[in-house]
Amino acid sequence: MKTTFPVSGMHCASCAVNIASSLKEVSGVTDAGVNFATGKATVEYDGSKATMAHLHKAVADAGYSVPVEEHHHFSDLAVARRRALWASAFAAPVLVLAMIGSSIPAASDIEAVLATIVVAIFGASFHATTFKLLKRGKANMDTLVSLGTVAALGLSWFELFRGGDLYFEAASVITAFILLGRWAEAKSRGRASEAMTKLLSLAPKTAHRVIGDAVEEVAVDALKIGDIVMVKPGEKIPLDGKIIQGTTTIDESMVTGESVPARRVEGDEVIGGTVNIDGALRISITKTSDQSLLAQIVKMVEDAQTKKAPIEKLADRISGVFVPIVIALSILVLVGMMVSGSSIDAAVIRAVSILVIACPCALGLATPIAVLVGTGAGAERGVLVKDGTALEHASRVTRVFFDKTGTLTEGKPVVTDVLPFGSATKDDVLAKAADLESLSEHPLAAAIVLAVGDRANRINPTDVLVTPGEGIFGSVSGIDVAVGTESFLRGRGMKLPNLSPAFALRSEGKTVVFVGAGKECIGAIALRDEPRAGAIEAIADLKKMGIAATMVTGDHADAAKAIAKRVGIDDVVAEVKPGEKRSVVMNVQEKGEVVAFVGDGINDAPALSQADLGIAMGSGTDIAIEAGHVVVLSGGPSALGAVVDALRLTRGTYAIIRQNLFWAFAYNIIGIPLAMLGFLSPMLAGGAMVFSSISVVLNALRLRKYGRKVA
């Protein structure tokens, strides 16, 4: 079994590592991961050995909690704000008194009381978590803060009675600094997850269900498959369904990223959460709320944010051992200074500085916050990144393979020419082809059937056999009929005449299929599929990014090259059977290239899975979408532009991750030695630590406006 649930009270990556460790200790748990940025734990477990109660107890034992309310982030934010403001209000007088206190009676006593309140009351969460973790032999950022502030406070009380130097302002201001930083960080993480909040808010809460002549308002969750709903102009469509009455224009931009409103008529599918602009509709519900496209999008994005990218696992491992090493360093410096003759005051303060400067918050946030923002920004624009691995692969892509039909082209071919052979007529050729193709779902088949129109004497074929990428064969009124490539007809024992007139049409970018009846080929049908709008611009953009483009198709080389030339692709691999597309990708990978594959059909699924980065067009089949690492939901004019945007987004997200990790490592590599050498006071160390955490969040937030300038 697998479950995902929220966790409250996390402050850093080592918190997440400790919770995951606690969960893994539960009998029956096979794997557990905790994402600090999203505040969620994902656990795989044996339901016969472990229960949700066991998992929640493991979280509590680690010093954290599982919130019961749905919007726990807002309550966590309120608590963080309250603690930060009260701590600041009490710490400010301590700092003022430390600077001018010599002229005020009992100033030291006031400092002591106020500082103790700040550390003991407003910083209580640090100490409580530290105590629980130490009982389990663990440590995290809270441990560093707790040890540092308690040490500074304890030393100050000791010196107060002895008449020495006081450091109450260090203990209180550090606590206030860190609480303020957590509040700011929580607000930033809230902004980072706004995209998911917007997605969830797209779905309307109520719908107008039609029962006979009556219309009743019901909760969307109460709708069942087959229910009829009425949607007025300006209202949101409640769930995925099919229009059974009415014509309208629908704004699908919030789900697909497609800016141009789509015209929808009776019989068309519609998406829940989209806006009905100008027509009154009656819709038959085809999917429940948990099966809808919007629900799938939300789940896909949440899964991507929960799954750890390989680079993030490295950061987690470092965070897991970092805190114990820092504690050991601070003790070493403390003991070393005292042995060398330094005062206990100086030794403790330097040890406190090391503890505070080394909190690995920025390191833990670097990757998950970038993934959180990047995947959310993509979802808003109809680009779904399914896992963190895609981010790393996308950053290294050198070549993109494009399927032709339905990817580089509109996928809506039309019959342009019919060439009869021998004594056959155009009507004979079209009629026999349409009878057989009526059982096929291929775009070319649909175009042929459409070209014939409604014929009263349509004959249903029997014994139909489809050979993907080659053709279809069956019996029509007792006569063997084949539609497909010339080699397909030849393989069926059919005699072929001079095909030169048909071959000539391929140079015009037309796809040519041959029709055979009985023992001979009776004609050819040419079809043209126009390139998608934006294809030329998309290919040009890829070239500017230094990425090569290749068309791979089962179509004849002449027809493929004609389309490729129109969109600006120089490299074409044609006449490839469906099962061979994966081999084409593998051959290029073996030469050291990192490959992305863009496709939309069932026959693209193996290649999508084999590619380092599979980009599935959302207008395609479910199996292609499942096989892809990135899904582009837009099926309209901007679809190929969205593919380029997907590459920019994934590249940009990975670039932000690397920037964040670099600065997080640099901060600790520089800061810890400075603290060890005494160049950083505890207060300055606290401020720097807070700034480092907020800086990686702000850097990641740049991805919310990703586009041509990010990558």
Region 512-529 average pLDDT: 92
> Which pLDDT score, from 0 to 100, does residue 458 have?
67
Region 246-261 average pLDDT: 75
Instruction: Give the number of other CB atoms < 10 A from CB of residue 184.
Output: 19
Higher pLDDT, 150 or 178: 150
**Residue-wise pLDDT tens digits, 133-171:** 788 777 777 787 888 888 888 888 988 888 777 888 888
Higher pLDDT, 551 or 303: 551
> Which pLDDT score, from 0 to 100, does residue 706 have?
58
Residue 291 has pLDDT above 90, yes or no: no
Q: Is 620 left (phi over 0), alpha (psi -120 to 50) or beta?
A: beta
Region 7-26 average pLDDT: 80
> Which pLDDT score, from 0 to 100, does residue 193 have?
59
- Which structure tokens are listed for 95? 């700092």
> Which pLDDT score, from 0 to 100, does residue 544 have?
92
> Which pLDDT score, from 0 to 100, does residue 457 have?
57
Residue 692 — pLDDT band, cuts 50, 70, 90? confident
> Which pLDDT score, from 0 to 100, does residue 77 have?
76
Residue keyed to tokens 């050498």: 677
Residues 44, 37 contacting (CB under 8 angstroms) = no
Region 67-89 average pLDDT: 76
Using CA atoms in the order 225, 231, 234, 235, what is the torsion angle rounded to 10 degrees? -40
Rounded to the nearest angstrom, the gap between the alpha carbon of residue 610 and the centroid of all alpha carbons in its chain is 20
Task: Calculate the alpha carbon distances from 704 to 478, 513, 710 in Å.
Answer: 62, 47, 10
Region 111-133 average pLDDT: 90
Q: Which helix (H) or strand (E) holds 402?
A: strand 399-403
> Which pLDDT score, from 0 to 100, does residue 456 have?
45
Please, what is the average pLDDT of the chain?
A: 83
Higher pLDDT, 506 or 524: 524
Higher pLDDT, 30 or 311: 30
| Spatial CB neighbours of 103, under 8 Å, sequence gap ≥ 6 | none
> Which pLDDT score, from 0 to 100, does residue 130 have?
84
**Residue-wise pLDDT tens digits, 578-595:** 668 889 999 999 999 999
Residue 441 has pLDDT above 70, yes or no: yes
φ, ψ of residue 422 to 5 degrees: the values are: 65, -135
> Per DSSP, which regions of 594-639 are E strands?
595-599, 613-617, 630-632
- How far apart are alpha carbons 106 and 103 in whole angstroms? 9
> Which pLDDT score, from 0 to 100, does residue 709 have?
38
**Residue-wise pLDDT tens digits, 309-328:** 666 666 666 766 777 888 89
Residue 623 has pLDDT above 90, yes or no: no
Among 5-9, 39-43, 292-296, 440-444, which is the least confidently predicted range? 292-296
Task: Calculate the alpha carbon distances from 437 to 45, 462, 511, 621 in Å.
Answer: 49, 12, 16, 20
Q: What is the CA radius of gyration of the chain?
A: 33
Q: Of the candidates 502, 481, 484, 497, which has an alpha carbon nearest to the alpha carbon of residue 422?
A: 497
> Which pLDDT score, from 0 to 100, does residue 417 have?
93
pTM, whole model, 2 decimals?
A: 0.64
> Which pLDDT score, from 0 to 100, does residue 155 have?
87
> Which pLDDT score, from 0 to 100, does residue 303 have?
66
**Residue-wise pLDDT tens digits, 338-354:** 999 888 888 988 988 88
Q: Which letter does DSSP use for residue 149 in this model?
A: H
> Which pLDDT score, from 0 to 100, does residue 637 have?
58
Region 213-231 average pLDDT: 91
> Which pLDDT score, from 0 to 100, does residue 209 have?
94
> Which pLDDT score, from 0 to 100, does residue 627 have?
64
Region 269-293 average pLDDT: 87
- Starting at the edge strand found earlier in the chain, the sheet holding 248-251 runs 262-264, 248-251, 275-276
Residue 710 has pLDDT above 50, yes or no: no
Residue 269 has pLDDT above 50, yes or no: yes
Q: What is the DSSP string of 317-340?
A: HHHHHHHHHHHHHHHHHHHHHHHT
Q: Of the candidates 357, 386, 367, which has an alpha carbon nearest to the alpha carbon of residue 298?
A: 386
Residue 185 has pLDDT above 70, yes or no: no
| Spatial CB neighbours of 333, under 8 Å, sequence gap ≥ 6 | 347, 350, 351, 354, 676
- Catalytic residue check, 403: yes
Q: Of the candidates 35, 55, 63, which has an alpha carbon nearest to the alpha carbon of residue 141?
A: 63
The domains found in the chain, sorted by start residue, are 2-58 (3.30.70.100), 74-194+301-368+680-694 (no CATH), 204-291 (2.70.150.10), 373-408+531-653 (3.40.50.1000), 414-528 (3.40.1110.10)
φ, ψ of residue 32 to 5 degrees: the values are: -150, 140
The percent of residues above 90 in pLDDT, for the chain, comes to: 25
**Residue-wise pLDDT tens digits, 468-495:** 778 899 998 889 999 999 999 999 999 9
> Which pLDDT score, from 0 to 100, does residue 14 have?
66
- How far apart are alpha carbons 580 and 323 in whole angstroms? 52
| Residue in 142, 403, 555, 600 annotated catalytic | 403
Residue 305 has pLDDT above 60, yes or no: no
Per DSSP bridges, beta strands 511-517 and 269-270 are unpaired
> Which pLDDT score, from 0 to 100, does residue 707 have?
42
DSSP lists the bridge partners of residue 630 as: 385, 615
- Which structure tokens are listed for 116? 């103790």
